[in-house]
């Protein structure tokens, strides 16, 4: 049996006719930039997430960049975030001349909210919690309190957490803004790059709309501020809207089913540390990834490869602070570095069959004998 880590064409083929209809519709309509399709997707996305406004942009990196720019992040400001994230979370901080300040992660691989207060200085302006692997950081209510106490802005990197909730509240809605990615491998994937910012702040949403379109707005398209081109293509918006409306809920349920099957099949193995279980607690996780910690991780990866099973290491096996070329000074992030040594991601996407998941469980079990 072959189980690739991703299978992009498979998802396309399952609904090929429907996607073709959407694509042809847009191509014949001849309006390829912004317009009604983008607005419709924004409205549906905002509703799905539980926010008042959504602004569609070209990718989640732009979403983070524009959100930080829109809240006034300036050169010399500090932004607290984690190192166990995609480099995009941190590069946007650096790009704006601000300084990333890393805090360690907890048992569940996400920002340890209890470590944030110690990292706050007079220069701290914002906090970017990363809602990784389809889960919201534990204790977000404490983070919101801290942000109020110190007058900081929370911008969520919820690129991986569309549809996840914590205490009944959607990922992306805890702070000033939440940023989502529709990169092909994400929960809601485009056939290319796409992203969005959600917010309850109408003024902020209007500013984001100006920023993504060269600062242009109003009836005459007058330039009102320095912006750039960070628009989401209309074609992507139409496809994403179709997927969101027709399939996203079903896909999330399927992801949770697979996570449940992994949990049941693997939780007896002492060599592994699994993500939190699907049921119980304040969390509703959507399992963008199934990231486990495994003894003899590199050997396990090789063994699974010989069994036809594709796996991946998070960010290739390094936290952002561990990429030497970036010149970040050594950090005291023991838990992040432990996870980078041990973590491996098993295949998890809605198209996997129960038999494939069982095959992976059996292979992992066989490896540990």
Rounded Cα gap, residues 319 and 300, in angstroms: 21
DSSP strands (E only) in 307-361: 343-346
Site string for ligand PLP, 103-142 (x = CB under 6 A): ---------------------------x------------
The correct pick among 37, 69, 83, 85 for binding ligand PLP (CB under 6 A) is 85
Q: What is the Cβ-side half-sphere exposure of residue 270, based on CA atoms within 13 angstroms?
A: 1
Max Cα distance, the chain (Å):
69
Tokens representing 168?
Answer: 């009944």
Binding mask 10-49 for ligand PLP (x = CB under 6 A): ----------------------------------------
User: Looking at beta carbons, which residue is closest to ligand PLP?
Assistant: 60
Q: In what order do the strands lie in the sheet with 53-57?
A: 53-57, 195-199, 177-181, 153-157, 124-127, 78-82, 99-103
Question: Quick one: which of 68, 88, 230, 360 contacts ligand PLP (CB under 6 A)?
Answer: 88
Cβ closer to ligand PLP: 189 or 217?
Answer: 189
Interface residue with ligand PLP among 37, 61, 69, 124 (CB under 6 A) is: 61
State the residue for tokens 């602070």: 321
Q: Is 98 helix (H, G, I), strand (E, B) or coil?
A: coil
| Distance in angstroms (rounded) separating the CA atoms of residues 151 and 175 | 12
Q: How far is the CB of 296 from ligand PLP (least distance, A)?
A: 27
Closest distance between ligand PLP and the C-beta of residue 368, in Å? 29
- Of the residues 129, 195, 217, 319, which one makes contact with ligand PLP according to CB under 6 A: 195
- Per-residue contact track with ligand PLP, 305 to 324, x per CB under 6 A? --------------------
Using the rule CB under 6 A, which residue among 45, 46, 56, 60 binds ligand PLP?
A: 60
In the complex with ligand PLP, the residue whose CB is nearer, 71 or 90, is 90
> Closer to ligand PLP at the Cβ: 68 or 159?
159
Would you say 236 or 266 has its CB closer to ligand PLP?
A: 236
Tell which positions 145-174 bind ligand PLP, by CB under 6 A. 157, 159-160
- Restricting to residues 256-295, name those near ligand PLP by CB under 6 A: none
Task: Cite the beta strand spans of the chain per DSSP E.
Answer: 53-57, 78-82, 99-103, 124-127, 153-157, 165-166, 169-170, 177-181, 195-199, 216-217, 222-223, 272-273, 283-284, 290-294, 343-346
Question: Would you say 274 and 263 are in contact if contact means Cβ atoms under 8 Å apart?
Answer: yes
Q: How far apart are CA 320 and CA 279, in angstroms?
A: 31
Tokens of 311: 């796996």
Order across the sheet with 290-294: list the strands: 272-273, 290-294, 343-346
Structure tokens at 50: 């539980």
Distance of CA 290 to the CA centre of its chain: 13
Nearer to ligand PLP, 315 or 367 (CB): 315
Asked if 89 touches ligand PLP (CB under 6 A), the answer is: yes
Nearer to ligand PLP (CB atom), residue 213 or residue 291: 291
- The answer to whether 240 and 162 have CB atoms below 8 angstroms apart is no
Determine the 3-state secondary structure of 198 from DSSP.
strand
Among 69, 83, 133, 181, binds ligand PLP (CB under 6 A): 181
Candidate ranges 57-65, 271-279, 302-310, 357-365; the one touching ligand PLP (CB under 6 A)? 57-65
251 counts as binding ligand PLP under rule CB under 6 A: no
Residue 86, interface with ligand PLP (CB under 6 A)?
Answer: yes
Residues that bind ligand PLP (CB under 6 A): 59-61, 85-86, 88-89, 130, 157, 159-160, 181, 183, 193, 195
């Amino acid at each position: 049996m072959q189980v690739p880590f991703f299978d992009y064409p498979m998802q396309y083929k399952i609904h090929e006719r429907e996607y073709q209809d959407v694509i042809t519709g847009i191509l014949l309509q001849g309006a390829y930039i912004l317009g009604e399709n983008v607005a419709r997707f924004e409205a549906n996305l905002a509703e799905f997430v539980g926010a008042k406004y959504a602004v569609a942009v070209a990718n989640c990196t732009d979403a983070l960049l524009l959100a930080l720019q829109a809240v006034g992040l300036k050169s010399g400001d500090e932004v607290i975030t984690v190192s166990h994230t995609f480099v995009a979370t941190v590069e946007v901080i650096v790009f704006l001349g601000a300084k990333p300040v890393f805090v360690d992660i907890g048992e569940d691989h996400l920002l340890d909210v209890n470590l944030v207060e110690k990292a706050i200085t007079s220069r701290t302006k914002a906090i970017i919690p990363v809602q990784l692997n389809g889960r919201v950081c534990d204790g977000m209510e404490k983070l919101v309190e801290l942000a109020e106490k110190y007058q900081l802005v929370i911008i969520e990197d919820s690129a991986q957490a569309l549809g996840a909730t914590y205490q009944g509240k959607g990922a992306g809605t805890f702070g000033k803004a939440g940023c989502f990615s529709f990169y092909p491998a994400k929960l809601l994937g485009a056939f290319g790059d796409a992203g969005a910012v959600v917010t309850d702040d109408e003024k902020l949403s209007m500013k984001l709309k100006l920023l993504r379109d060269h600062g242009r707005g109003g009836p005459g398209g007058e330039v009102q501020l320095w912006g750039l081109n960070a628009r989401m293509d209309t074609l992507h918006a139409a496809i994403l809207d179709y997927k969101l409306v027709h399939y996203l809920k079903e896909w999330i349920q399927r992801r949770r089913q697979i996570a449940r099957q992994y949990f049941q099949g693997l939780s007896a193995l002492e060599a592994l540390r699994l993500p939190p279980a699907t049921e119980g607690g304040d969390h509703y996780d959507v399992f963008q990834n199934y990231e486990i910690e495994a003894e003899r991780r590199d050997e396990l990866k090789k063994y699974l490869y010989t069994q036809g099973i594709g796996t991946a290491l998070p960010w290739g096996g390094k936290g952002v602070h561990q990429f030497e070329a970036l010149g970040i000074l050594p950090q005291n992030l023991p838990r992040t570095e432990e996870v980078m040594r041990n973590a491996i991601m098993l295949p998890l996407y809605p198209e996997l069959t129960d038999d494939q998941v069982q095959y992976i469980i059996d292979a992992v079990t066989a490896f540990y004998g």
